[in-house]
Amino acid sequence: MNLMTFAPALPEIFVLVMVSLILVIDAAVDDSKRYLAYVLSLATLAGAAFLTVRDLSTLPVLALNGLFIDDPLSDVLKLFLYLTTAVVLVYARDYLRLRGLYKGEFFVLALFALLGMMVMVSASHFLTLYLGLELLSLSLYAMVALQRDSSVATEAAMKYFVLGALASGMLLYGMSMVYGVTGSLALADIAQNLADGTDLRIPLVFGIVFVVAGLAFKLGAVPFHMWVPDVYHGAPTAMTLFIGSAPKIAAFAFVVRILGQGLESQVAEWRDMLVILAVLSMAVGNLAAIAQSNLKRMFAYSTISHMGFMLLGILAGTHNGYGSAMFYVIVYALMSLGGFGMILLLSRAGFEADRLDDFKGLNRRSPWLAFVMLLLMFSMAGIPPTVGFYAKLSVLQAVVEIGYVWLAVAAVVFSLIGAFYYLRIVKLMYFDEPHEPLPVAASPDTRLVMSANGLAVLALGILPQPLMAVCVHVVGASF
Amino acid sequence: MLDNLLSLVVWVPIVAGVLVLATGSDRNAPLARWLSLAGALAGLVVAIPLYTGFDTATSAMQFVEKTPWIPAFNVYYHLGVDGISMPLVLLNSFTTVLVVIAGWQVIQDRVAQYMAAFLIMSGLINGAFAALDGILFYVFFEGMLIPLYLIVGVWGGPNRVYAAFKFFLYTLAGSLLMLVSFVYLYYQSGGSFDIQTWHKTTLGMTAQTLMFLAFLLAFGVKVPMWPVHTWLPDAHVEAPTGGSVVLAAITLKVGAYGFLRFMLPIVPDASHELAWLVITLSLIAVAYIGLVALVQADMKKLIAYSSIAHMGFVTLGFFLFNPLGWEGGLVQMISHGFVSAALFLCIGVMYDRLHSRQIKDYGGLVNKMPVFAAFFMLFAMANAGLPATSGFVGEFMVIMAAVKVNFWYAFVAATTLIFGAAYTLWMYKRVVFGSVTNPHVEDMSDLNAREWLLMAVLAVCVLGMGLYPKPFTDVMHVSVVDLLAHVAQSKLP
């Protein structure tokens, strides 16, 4: 096997070339041609998807001297990353244009973030993992700060940056401990060395604690969640939409690569930590969400609780568990896109539809959009026949399989609490009268994508098998 | 076509509901109404072969359909009915037609959404009765909450939001714990969500007891049993007439059905062990809730409490573990479906004219609405359990069964014959008899043709079932006897 091959990294190289190209082109054209960046970005995503599909791998392939891995897991996750990024661009376009943010920088930063995520899902080495994470994070910090006149957004960017840097530091510290114990940064070598046994238990566990803390920061799991509501709330909604969707998929890959592949043999050590993180996230996320009157903040807390649910799948430490967590995170990205997308859709120039009251009487203003939002809310609450139910079901069966029935009971109790605030949105849309009976002004293409988004939640709920089979299959083929 | 009969029974109403929804705004309301009626009638027509083609000699599942649905979890699209579920499917399809007709003129706002919600819910309920796969059942069982939540919340009365939330969250609490039980059973049975496989799975006593409690909460909330019954009066008072009819006649039965399909056969040892608990709760429902009903000033609340008392008979009958009790419980379920539907429709008739449900606002109705008063009398008598009405059959069978087990059970249960008569007839007296005191009652007109039709159909059902219950008991007899034999066997490892 020639380890110094570049071929498996072709999609990444393509995205990088295209980003540079967009950067140059956008600098040369005037304001009337801004759509070029938009079109080129979508073309980049389509091209990357083509390259990924062309070389779908059935077995893991190492490349770039073992820094990079191309396996079924990374291929599938990348395809979902392209998809979510494309949907974000479509939803965000009108919103950005009305706020003077429709510039090349947004697209360049989004694509750089995408590149970082692609590296994260394909990393087989602590260094590449870290590089991908930093590329993603720095792009996101800049995106949040893009609206530079807004003090709220700047504050959010500052918080995000400082806490993100702290988390990166913890992660690096933990990685260095693991390196000290195993003598390697490559995940496969680490797994091999740990499986052979080590005398250095204390430094190893110490390292794992820091790694898990760093990961929890990035996921926004309690008690490392403080940045999530402020950033979600402060950032322009288009950026929140992006932060709340694609990076979660990458974060899943990140956690599974480190814990599931590198530290697989230490599952007994990190499982208990994840149990605590998961229970706290579900509890704090769901309880705090009830008290919010701002929809973006509410979704921020709901994200925290959803990440808790996803951790349930990972902490099982089985293929079944990773598969269910993957299913969960993809479904979550889909729902989150729809939820934030709806805020964008209802926003107008100088008006953010991000308060709960802005959804009052939506059924009068637009029955179809209200129905789509109803599907999304019931899906987030995990009520069948929407796909959110199967996501919850799959992580529950993963924890019951390892004998943690009490954890499953705790999870359903918290999801019951969570159902309350999703129901409240449905109540506002259907039971209340609107403040202003204006019809919703949204462009046809965003409406179309939103309809597809909502119907996907229902269609995947009626026929969940294809997506579920893909998740089970790629996890089995990649581990 | 007979191969897919149950699928038709489930999906015809749902597809009809989606079509009705597509008619859009209230400009097309007449179209939405006729389309809904056509859909509901089609749903009833496809359900009739279930009865005519039913083999009463076997307890095996009939009209079975089975195709893989989610192979990743070994979940099947598995439908089938036996003598226990088939009458309930028919009852539901029948009630849906009544509900559509009942909402014909009353609902003027968002007609398409209203009708569609009922049709879709009807299909989901049929699915819950016919599902033989745990996950499939759960999807239908939970899915029906969504339309019902909207029905109560959108078309209900002043306190509708509170009622809708209470109803939704109470029910969800129970069913989520049931879901955990299902997942646990999945692993205990070696990776199957098949309900009939679960019936054979051996389980330790601790697991059985915990699952018993989860099932008790899930189905007990739905029935509803004392002390988790408080959502029902709230939801009923606030729901539109159609919503009340479906709630009382159908959704409560889903809970009772769950006892027979899940709790008793899956955890028989715990059920025997803890039968005292359910019997106690049922007797409290019968006696105490009967007294609560007596003091209600709101007619809908009164009937809602009387529903709880009547459903107490059903659960009591099930936990006596003898054929008479079970069949009595089942007959009581069907009968209560007719009687409560009829009474809520009666209240709906009065409410449409006077816009009040308070007993004190009425009086002397018989002077203005003699035909209505006659029908109302019949249904009130049935609710009180008068012989020759359907209400008598079930209660009598359950009391007989209770005497065999323990005289005092029967003694407490029999108080319903007094309380039931007291609260129903006292309400009837105050509403219908006496002189007209409220000037608005002077203006009330008697039944129109549509209302007369509804009343007449239900009156035939109530009397028919009371005079000749054999067609109902014949259908369920073999299934009940075989299921009882199964429940009598220990499943301890």
**pLDDT tens, residue by residue, B370-382:** 888 888 888 888 8
Question: Which residues in chain A touch residue B172, judged by CB atoms under 8 angstroms apart?
Answer: 383, 416, 419
% of chain A surpassing 90 pLDDT: 47
- At residue A302, the pLDDT reads 93
| Minimum distance, in Å, between the CA of residue A439 and any CA atom of chain B | 14
Q: Is the confidence at residue A2, as pLDDT, over 60?
A: no
- At residue A115, the pLDDT reads 94
Answer for the pair B427, B359: CB distance below 8 angstroms, yes or no: yes
Q: Model confidence at A85, in pLDDT bands (50, 70, 90)?
A: very high
Q: Is the confidence at residue A334, as pLDDT, over 90?
A: yes
Report chain B residues touching chain A, CB-CB < 8 A: 24, 69-73, 110, 113, 135, 138-139, 142-143, 145-146, 149-150, 153-154, 160-161, 164-165, 168-169, 172-173, 176-177, 179-180, 183-184, 186-187
Q: Model confidence at B229, in pLDDT bands (50, 70, 90)?
A: confident
Question: Which residues in chain B touch residue A391, judged by CB atoms under 8 angstroms apart?
Answer: none
| Minimum distance, in Å, between the CA of residue B313 and any CA atom of chain A | 30
Q: Do B161 and A427 touch (CB under 8 A)?
A: yes
CB neighbours of A32 closer than 8 A, spacing ≥ 6?
Answer: none
- At residue B246, the pLDDT reads 84
Question: Which residues in chain B touch residue A384, judged by CB atoms under 8 angstroms apart?
Answer: 138-139, 142-143
- Other beta carbons within 10 angstroms of residue A7's beta carbon come to 11
| Minimum distance, in Å, between the CA of residue B259 and any CA atom of chain A | 21
3-class SS at A437?
coil
Question: Which residues in chain A touch residue B208, judged by CB atoms under 8 angstroms apart?
Answer: none
CB neighbours of A237 closer than 8 A, spacing ≥ 6?
Answer: A95, A296, A340, A343, A344, A347, A352, A354
Nearest residue on chain A to B188, alpha-carbon basis: A401
Q: Model confidence at B300, in pLDDT bands (50, 70, 90)?
A: confident
Give how far Cα B387 sits from Cα of A338, B372, B417, Å.
58, 21, 11
Q: Do A405 and B180 touch (CB under 8 A)?
A: yes
Over residues B238-256, mean pLDDT = 83
- At residue A86, the pLDDT reads 93
Question: Considering only CA atoms, which of B60, B57, B62 is closest in space to residue B81?
Answer: B62
Q: Model confidence at A310, in pLDDT bands (50, 70, 90)?
A: very high
- At residue B438, the pLDDT reads 75
β-bridge partners, A70: A61
Over residues B68-84, mean pLDDT = 87
pLDDT one-digit tens code per residue, A135-154: 999 999 999 988 888 888 89
**Selected residue of A376, A407, A412 to mutate for chain B interface (largest B Cβ count, 10 A):** A412
Q: Which residue intervals of B248-364 are DSSP H helices?
A: 252-258, 264-266, 268-273, 275-294, 299-318, 323-354
- At residue B231, the pLDDT reads 79
Report chain A residues touching chain B, CB-CB < 8 A: 363, 367, 374, 378, 383-385, 389-390, 393-394, 396-397, 400-401, 405, 408-409, 412-413, 415-416, 419-420, 423, 426-427, 430-431, 464-465, 468-469, 472
Q: Is the confidence at residue A223, as pLDDT, over 70?
A: yes
- At residue A459, the pLDDT reads 92
Residue B141 parent element (H or E): helix B134-143
Question: Considering only CA atoms, which of B486, B465, B483 is closest in space to residue B87?
Answer: B465
CB neighbours of B205 closer than 8 A, spacing ≥ 6?
Answer: B269, B270, B273, B492
Q: Do A423 and B135 touch (CB under 8 A)?
A: no
% of chain B surpassing 70 pLDDT: 100
Please state, rounded to an integer, the average pLDDT across all residues of chain B: 85
Question: Which residues in chain B touch residue A331, judged by CB atoms under 8 angstroms apart?
Answer: none
Over residues B74-97, mean pLDDT = 88
Answer for the pair B88, B47: CB distance below 8 angstroms, yes or no: no
Instruction: State how far the Cα of B18 lies from the Cα of B35, in Å rounded to an integer.
Output: 11
Over residues B477-488, mean pLDDT = 84
Q: Do A431 and B176 touch (CB under 8 A)?
A: no
Instruction: State how far the Cα of A143 lies from the Cα of A157, in Å rounded to an integer.
Output: 8
Please state, rounded to an integer, the average pLDDT across all residues of chain A: 89
Q: Is the confidence at residue A387, as pLDDT, over 70?
A: yes
Over residues B462-475, mean pLDDT = 84
Q: Which has the higher per-residue pLDDT, A23 or B359?
A: A23
Global pTM?
A: 0.91
Over residues A460-466, mean pLDDT = 89
Structure tokens at B380: 């009130």
Q: Output the 3-class SS for B61-117.
A: CEEEEEEEEEHHHCEEEEEEECCCCHHHHHHHHHHHHHHHHHCCCCCCCCHHHHHHH
Q: Is the confidence at residue B3, as pLDDT, over 80?
A: no
Write the residue in B73, B145, B165 that is nearest to A383 by C-beta: B145
Q: Which has the higher per-residue pLDDT, B231 or A184?
A: A184
Q: Is the confidence at residue B168, as pLDDT, over 60?
A: yes
Q: Model confidence at B224, in pLDDT bands (50, 70, 90)?
A: confident
* Opening angle at CA B385, ends B359 and B220, nearest 5: 80
Instruction: State how far the Cα of B306 lies from the Cα of B328, in Å rounded to an integer.
Output: 18
Answer for the pair B263, B271: CB distance below 8 angstroms, yes or no: yes
Q: Model confidence at A281, in pLDDT bands (50, 70, 90)?
A: very high
Query: A227-236, B350-359, B406-415, B465-474 — which one is most confidently predicted on average?
Result: A227-236
Question: Which residues in chain B touch residue A378, judged by CB atoms under 8 angstroms apart?
Answer: 146
Q: Model confidence at A222, in pLDDT bands (50, 70, 90)?
A: confident
Positive or negative CA dihedral for A353, A359, A364, A369? Answer: positive
Instruction: State how far the Cα of B436 lies from the Cα of A431, in Å rounded to an integer.
Output: 37
Over residues A31-38, mean pLDDT = 82
Of A7-21, A226-240, B41-55, the range with the lowest mean pLDDT is: B41-55
Nearest residue on chain B to A375, alpha-carbon basis: B146
- At residue A78, the pLDDT reads 93
| Minimum distance, in Å, between the CA of residue A412 and any CA atom of chain B | 6
Question: Which residues in chain B touch residue A407, judged by CB atoms under 8 angstroms apart?
Answer: none
- At residue A452, the pLDDT reads 92
Q: How far is CA A279 from the centre of its chain?
A: 20
Q: Do A383 and B146 touch (CB under 8 A)?
A: yes
Over residues B427-435, mean pLDDT = 82
Q: Is the confidence at residue B1, as pLDDT, over 70?
A: no
Sequential DSSP letters for A119-161: HHHTB-BHHHHHHHHHHHHHHHHHHHTTSTT-HHHHHHHHHHH
Q: Model confidence at A275, in pLDDT bands (50, 70, 90)?
A: very high
| Minimum distance, in Å, between the CA of residue B207 and any CA atom of chain A | 11
Over residues B258-285, mean pLDDT = 88
pLDDT one-digit tens code per residue, A389-411: 999 999 999 999 888 889 999 99
- At residue A349, the pLDDT reads 65
Instruction: State how far the Cα of A356 lies from the Cα of A374, in Å rounded to an integer.
Output: 14
ipTM of the complex: 0.89
